[in-house]
With several copies, the nearest count.
Chain A
Amino acid sequence: MKFFNSKSNYLKWIWNISYSVIGLLILLPNTSFAQTTSGASSTISSGDTAWVLVSAALVMLMTPALGLFYGGMVRQKNVLSTILQSFFLLAAISVQWVIIGYSLAFSPGNDFIGGLSWAFLRGAGVPNPSAPTIPGLAFVMFQCMFAAITPALISGSFAERIQFKGFVFFSLLWTTLVYDPICHWVWGGGIFEKMGALDFAGGTVVHMSSGFSALVLALLLGSRIGYGKNPMIPHDLTLVLTGASLLWFGWFGFNAGSALGANALAANAFMTTNTAAAVAALTWCCLEALHKDKASSLGAASGAVAGLVAITPACGYVDIVGAILIGIVASLVCYNAILLKLRFKYDDSLDAFGIHGIGGTWGALATGLFATQWVNSHGNNGLFYGNPHQFLVQLKTVAATALYATVMTLILFWIVDKTVGMRVSAKEEEIGLDLSQHGEEAYRY
């Protein structure tokens, strides 16, 4: 069987990784941390540092939480592979980030990408200019967790039918060539930042980029065998609810942590985040009650996540009214996006596009509508506060992000599919990815 013969591929992969790691280790002087603990420590705020470190831990938790959320939604035979996709990316991207990702995203470069001068965290001993009151490494790690969860979000679209090897290669390439650049555009001094785009915690860079890539992958990979005929129904909704709850919990770090300090702005982001999630969960339940007479737990969880996605770019720029409206509309659009999928019969298994792509787009645009300098004087006003220009800027970033993510995913899919392979064989799919890709079963009596 094919999956018993891939040793050589693994070997190559291990070799390549080892080679580059060792190579870089030799090149690097060991002075990368010169004087971490001294330096300009007088400007460091212990309160801000405590908050950002906690936030980084909270965001870290989101990646495995996403694994549980997704893992509960697949069929039993694929649950481990789905959870592992998130868990593994937490590990893989954590390494990618400290070696090269942080540098590509944040080190000085051009409008489109940073350089390699901060590879291996060289120079991260001093505070990053965008977070002057916290140690440089706190900022690095906070951002690291964002990089880890973003490709994991995509995994909702190709669940239950992707090769593990193909998944690993694709995700590493995608993070390096899609996430890191867009992160540079938005927060690393790149083109979006220069255009004055507002994205507080990652509407474009996290949710849109992953959501549109997810759509492309779902289309390129094709549907699961039996899709549309056999029911493909969550195998454990308690896992889904646990995952969604931990996501909600972790999202406070994601959004309020993006204030990069423990201050009124963080409190505002905390409030808008919670409010939008709550409103969206209620809205989704209402829609279900209207459509099929019953609110469901999967619906409540989906709604909450949709609201959290949509408020992400806006949370530090909008007030309570903005948060409520963003939450309501988030559920309206995502709920219908998911129904569309059933109509057009593409198989975005766990609705990564329906929730992150659509929700992220709405959030990015809504920031251009509801942003107000009353909330954040370093932000800008949106359309409803008399500044239509901001909405235009947001529109442009939305279009650019969607386009870039789509095109790059097409290219990367093609490359990985031709070299390592992306889709499992029909037999492996029937047996399930847990057994065929990992030689394990989740549950046993």
Chain B
Amino acid sequence: MKKIEAIIRPSALQRLLEAIKIVGYSGITVMEVQGHGKQRGITESYRGQKIESLLSKILIYVVVRDKDVSKIIKAICQAIRTGEIGDGKIFVSPVVTAVRVRTGEKGEKALL
């Protein structure tokens, strides 16, 4: 199993959710984060105090079977790519096991 984390523009969330649903995963977790990559923030100013803002991003996170990883990545890229800086990043990391609390099922069965 792998955990796929995508850090994206807030406005791309809907398209991403649909893309993932189509691949067949209903379990999805979303969180509000801030960040910057190549795309830098804008200078903010409050009564003379200046700071560089971080940008609001959405982190969407889905744990999938190993064999679905590349399918999901492709689906995500297609759904949200605009070609502009700020499109986002995807990180894939290993997951040892998963548990469905309700039933106690373990492993890939717990995912779907």
Q: Which residues of A contact B (CB under 8 A)?
A: 76-77, 225-226, 229-234, 288, 292, 294, 296, 298-299, 302, 338-339, 341-342, 351, 427, 430-431, 435-436, 439-441, 445
Contacts of B45 in A (CB 8 A): 288, 292, 294, 296, 439-440
A436 CA to B56 CA, complexed, in Å = 13
A338 CA to B45 CA, complexed, in Å = 13
- Pick from B10, B43, B49, B51: contact of A342, CB below 8 A: B49
A296 CA to B44 CA, complexed, in Å = 10
Question: What is the 8 Å Cβ interface bit string for chain B, positions 31-57, against chain A (1 contact, 0 not)?
Answer: 010000000011111111101010110
Q: Are B11 and A230 in contact (CB under 8 A)?
A: yes
Q: Are A440 and B44 in contact (CB under 8 A)?
A: yes
Contacts A226-B11, A445-B56 hold; do A435 and B44 have CB atoms under 8 A apart?
A: yes
A400 CA to B75 CA, complexed, in Å = 54
> Which residue in chain B gives the minimum CB-CB distance to A225?
B11
- Pick from A226, A430, A435, A440: contact of B46, CB below 8 A: A440
- Pick from B47, B51, B86: contact of A298, CB below 8 A: B47
Q: Are A339 and B56 in contact (CB under 8 A)?
A: no
A58 CA to B61 CA, complexed, in Å = 49
Most chain B beta-carbon neighbours within 10 Å: one of A225, A234, A294, A431: A431
A142 CA to B39 CA, complexed, in Å = 49
A128 CA to B54 CA, complexed, in Å = 55
Question: What is the 8 Å Cβ interface bit string for chain B, positions 6-37, against chain A (1 contact, 0 not)?
Answer: 00011101110000000000000000100000
A406 CA to B28 CA, complexed, in Å = 47
Q: Are A351 and B49 in contact (CB under 8 A)?
A: no
- Pick from A76, A229, A339, A440: contact of B48, CB below 8 A: A339
Contacts of B44 in A (CB 8 A): 233, 435, 439-441
A445 CA to B9 CA, complexed, in Å = 12
- Pick from A296, A299, A439: contact of B42, CB below 8 A: A439
Q: Are B42 and A302 in contact (CB under 8 A)?
A: no
Most chain B beta-carbon neighbours within 10 Å: one of A226, A294, A339, A441: A441
Q: Are B46 and A234 in contact (CB under 8 A)?
A: yes
> Which residue in chain A gives the minimum CB-CB distance to B14?
A230
Q: Are B10 and A351 in contact (CB under 8 A)?
A: no
Q: Which residues of B contact A (CB under 8 A)?
A: 9-11, 13-15, 32, 41-49, 51, 53, 55-56, 58, 84, 86
- Determine how close the nearest CB of chain A comes to the CB of B62; give it in whole angstroms: 19
> Which residue in chain B gives the minimum CB-CB distance to A428?
B42
Q: Are B14 and A342 in contact (CB under 8 A)?
A: no
Q: Are A342 and B48 in contact (CB under 8 A)?
A: yes
Contacts of A431 in B (CB 8 A): 42, 55
Q: Are A233 and B42 in contact (CB under 8 A)?
A: no
Q: Are B14 and A351 in contact (CB under 8 A)?
A: no
Q: Are A338 and B14 in contact (CB under 8 A)?
A: no
5 closest cross-chain pairs (CB), A and B: A231-B51, A445-B32, A435-B42, A342-B48, A439-B44
A242 CA to B41 CA, complexed, in Å = 27
Q: Are B47 and A338 in contact (CB under 8 A)?
A: yes
- Determine how close the nearest CB of chain B comes to the CB of A313; give it in whole angstroms: 24
A230 CA to B14 CA, complexed, in Å = 6
Q: Are A232 and B55 in contact (CB under 8 A)?
A: no
Contacts A77-B56, A431-B55 hold; do A231 and B14 have CB atoms under 8 A apart?
A: yes
Q: Are A298 and B46 in contact (CB under 8 A)?
A: yes
Contacts of B86 in A (CB 8 A): 430
Contacts of B53 in A (CB 8 A): 435, 441
Q: Are A439 and B43 in contact (CB under 8 A)?
A: yes
Q: Are A430 and B11 in contact (CB under 8 A)?
A: yes
A249 CA to B14 CA, complexed, in Å = 38
Q: Are B42 and A430 in contact (CB under 8 A)?
A: no
A230 CA to B18 CA, complexed, in Å = 11
Contacts of A234 in B (CB 8 A): 46
> Which residue in chain A gives the minimum CB-CB distance to B44?
A439
Contacts of A445 in B (CB 8 A): 10, 32, 56, 58
A380 CA to B45 CA, complexed, in Å = 43
Q: Are A338 and B48 in contact (CB under 8 A)?
A: yes
A338 CA to B56 CA, complexed, in Å = 29
- Determine how close the nearest CB of chain B comes to the CB of A360; give it in whole angstroms: 18
> Which residue in chain B gives the minimum CB-CB distance to A431?
B42
- Determine how close the nearest CB of chain B comes to the CB of A353; give it in whole angstroms: 13
> Which residue in chain A gives the minimum CB-CB distance to B47?
A338
Contacts of B55 in A (CB 8 A): 431
